[in-house]
Structure 1
């Protein structure tokens, strides 16, 4: 291992001026980094003395310089990993497999790591990695072991006193510890998304109430349709978001079934027969989640169905959010040459060449997040399909994609609520003028005048560029009072046709 590798793993380099001596090719004296020696099946390696991770983590850092995003970037995953280690230690202690002193040290270390965010920078393995998550599991084992050693008054790396694999990973395999942690992490990470969706739904409902009496024209296929209220339009957004909250909760509930205790392929090799049930009970207690042991651990170890379904729900949310943002951009288009029915809060100058231009940047960024989530869903699908026999080796990328989607969606929705929806204003006059000028009004008149007559009126209004109401009065098809009654807000925006309605005849 080189000094450059150690420096890269310990902390990312800070911005610095160009070093002219380096550019000139001259050697530079660098301060030596204190190290400790560890070994694995490949041989000896030097580890930074102050690192909580060890040789297995080092190999992974060297092997997987892929995304630059370490697993410590996902606090929910780190928390879930150490909770799995803590639950395993408790179960093994109760079964008499793990000495009390070691179990207590592991538990205390797990508590410390789960609560102290400073440990996140010790989870340095790239989120995308080969080995079905083995490197992530090794990273967790080593950090927990070295934190426990310190609590025991030992030095880091003194694995004769407490071993990362023999003790911290007792009765576990990556193939049950990692998927279980990933399930738990996704439960944790979905909670902020649910909260963000609830706040967005509330914001749309508040606007629905505010705009309940704003008459506007509805549109289908970007053509004038029939009148509605702006409140009805925004209430539909409220409803669709509320539906997504229900679907998200249903999908997240699938992760409560875990395979902890399955060990390598689901047979439970190297674990006490009582271990699986006991470990899951302990994990449920520690996490506060109603976890259950999968009924068939071989199936649960190889199946990725829950992840595919959950990712699909995230895609559904993304698709619907982007559609809503498309609507908001259309409704706010202008300011003079577009729909101009609503005004989005101005967030920033929109052009370096066109003074005064303001763009709908918040809906735009939400749509771009949606496209990323949709892409992640396809990646999850392909990774799940690529499983073979008793294991799917592509869990790390599944986890990376879903955790990233959850984080981005949560941030995007929060931004949409606070920096856009809460500040939307209606242009009431503009909405009304578009209704009055639209030939869509004839639909409300069809039960009274008949389809054929209304088609003729619509064609005439379109050809002559005149309002529908003006032509109806000109032809004496209805009196002004009758026309006003038919075109009332409550008549045009909800079911109102009465049985036995008489169809008027055009005046000869």
Structure 2
């Protein structure tokens, strides 16, 4: 539904009026988000924490890929596509972080965060084209920024990208920790100490053997986190609302994954069964569980070192 733009001379210059299915609402004139975001602020005052910036940046990259393909296929005007790409670059670079104000804990499968990004992108693009924020006939959050997309394919795709980008440096850190522990294993290979059971002195062992056991545990955590990326790289962008690709041209569905792969530099692959990625979130539960397992290992090592 298009949102009418109001910029009457006698209206309060501190606000602009936007309208959705629930009716009109005054939006502060200086903000880049719109009425859907404003509604979400009211609906979800839960944790007081914003959405992770890496997720916002990932959504912006997804939007850029979609705009590029939509422009190439003449599904949106070329100048609008260019302005959207420019806006997405700004957001992906960390600009306007204060405009992403929806609470991290929200209902609606991420729709509020998705619309927050759509609206900020649209208003940035509007200004790029010489318009005024809220002038959605120039660039519309849904008709242009969200063309051929749905929260159900955009949000999980962006979440996968954000997870990969956050996991890679963690995996590198684990590799460094593993090497450091292995070095200690060699350094203390000839140092005799007592092992302990329930804090009581037990059988003798080499100090290096203890560090070797730590290195083995860290290596397993590192490998599990590394292998999880294989499942994170499978995306269903182009599946739209339920994974059938309804309302998205076939050319868009195939090109958008290739374009997103180029923009991210990640080995992303189009899911052969997009409905799977739409309705099943087990990969994120897997990653969460692996992070917890890795944390337990670190907690164990830290506790042992403290006691020693």
| Normalised TM-score (structure 2) | 0.92
Aligned with residue 55 of structure 2, among 67, 77, 83 = 77
- The Cα shift of 1:193 comes to 1.4
- The Cα shift of 1:66 comes to 0.4
Q: What is the rounded CA distance, in whole Å, between the counterparts of 1:159 and 1:76 in structure 2?
A: 27
User: Which aligned segments of 4 or more residues in structure 1 are displaced greater than 3 angstroms?
Assistant: 220-225
Unaligned 5+ segments in structure 1 are 1-31, 332-508
Q: Which residue of 2 aligns with 1:114?
A: 92
Q: Which residue of 2 aligns with 1:142?
A: 119
Report the CA distance shift for 1:242/1:33 in structure 2 as closer, same or farther (over 3 A): farther
Q: Which residue of 2 aligns with 1:153?
A: 130
Aligned with residue 202 of structure 2, among 225, 235, 258 = 225
- The Cα shift of 1:260 comes to 0.5
Aligned with residue 89 of structure 1, among 67, 74, 92 = 67
- The Cα shift of 1:330 comes to 2.1
Q: Which residue of 2 aligns with 1:126?
A: 103
Unaligned 5+ segments in structure 2 are 1-11
Q: What is the rounded CA distance, in whole Å, between the counterparts of 2:303 and 2:136 in structure 1?
A: 58
1:63 partnered with 2:40: no
Superposed, which structure 2 residues align to 1:298-337 within 5 Å? 298-331=275-308
Aligned with residue 31 of structure 2, among 47, 51, 55 = 51
1:42 partnered with 2:3: no
- The Cα shift of 1:46 comes to 1.4
- The Cα shift of 1:187 comes to 0.7
Superposed, which structure 2 residues align to 1:102-501 within 5 Å? 102-115=80-93, 117-331=94-308
| Normalised TM-score (structure 1) | 0.57
- The Cα shift of 1:256 comes to 0.5
Q: How many equivalent pairs are there? A: 297
Report the CA distance shift for 1:253/1:198 in structure 2 as closer, same or farther (over 3 A): same
Q: What is the rounded CA distance, in whole Å, between the counterparts of 1:46 and 1:193 in structure 2?
A: 44
- The Cα shift of 1:262 comes to 0.9
Listed one character per residue, the Cα deviations across residues 373-408 of structure 1 (whole Å, up to 9, x for unaligned) are xxxxxxxxxxxxxxxxxxxxxxxxxxxxxxxxxxxx
SS at 2:48 equivalent: coil
Pick the structure with greater CA Rg: 1
Q: What is the rounded CA distance, in whole Å, between the counterparts of 1:184 and 1:35 in structure 2?
A: 36
